[in-house]
Copies of this chain bind each other. A is one copy, B any other.
Amino acid sequence: MASAELLLVSQAMAHDPQHPSPPDLGPDPVLAGFRKSIDNIDAALIHMLAERFRITQAVGEYKAKATLPPADPDREARQIARLRKLSEEADLDPEFSEKFLRFIIDEVIRHHERAAAG
């Protein structure tokens, strides 16, 4: 087969649903759709987290002014129990939700330490 013919066959196969394009022939539309959803969710997560840190910053300032203790282990235990329950309902690993809350609280503590040092 001449190389021009080979090119035509390869172009025809690229548009044939029975012969889906290999990944190097262009973006996969199914994968691109999934990724669009992931990107939308990530943008929502970032904005939710930004708002959460705005509130925890206000909490830190308020606790300092009202001379309330910075940490509250009872509150933290209630938060963990609640998020584990919500996770189960949403079919998310409850262990992950606890790890996630710990990850966020560690960042809040870092913010408070930075604010105290600044």
Q: Which residues of A contact B (CB under 8 A)?
A: 20, 23, 28, 30-31, 34-35, 37-39, 41-56, 58-59, 62-63, 66, 68-69, 75, 79, 82-83, 86-87, 90-92, 96-97, 100-101, 103, 107
- Among B41, B62, B86, the residue within 8 A (CB) of A30 is B62
Q: Is the CB of B31 within 8 A of A41?
A: no
Identical copies in the complex: 2
Give A31 to B90 CA distance when docked, in angstroms: 28
For the residues of A in contact with B, the DSSP-based class is: helix
Q: Is the CB of A66 within 8 A of B100?
A: no
Give A37 to B90 CA distance when docked, in angstroms: 20
Give A52 to B107 CA distance when docked, in angstroms: 22
> Closest residue to A90 on the B side, CB-wise?
B50
A46 and B107 contact, Cβ closer than 8 Å, known pairs A31-B68, A55-B41: no
